[in-house]
Amino acid sequence: MRKILFLFFLSFMCISVLSQNEIAMKKLTIEVRDSATYQPLADAMCRVMNATGKLQSFKVADREGHISLSAQQEDILTFSLIGYGKRKISVNNIQGQANQPS
Mean pLDDT of all residues in the chain?
78
What does the domain layout of the chain look like in residue ranges?
A: 4-97
Instruction: Tell me the pLDDT band of 102, cut-offs 50, 70 and 90.
Output: low
CATH number of 4-97: 2.60.40
pLDDT digits (tens, 9 = 90+) for 2-49: 655 544 433 333 333 344 344 678 888 889 988 889 899 999 999 999
Reported for 60-67, long-range contacts at CB under 8 A and 24+ positions apart, including other chains, are 61/30, 61/32, 64/31, 64/40, 65/31, 65/32, 65/33, 65/40, 65/41, 66/29, 66/30, 66/31, 66/32, 66/40, 67/28, 67/29, 67/30, 67/31, 67/32
pTM of the model: 0.73
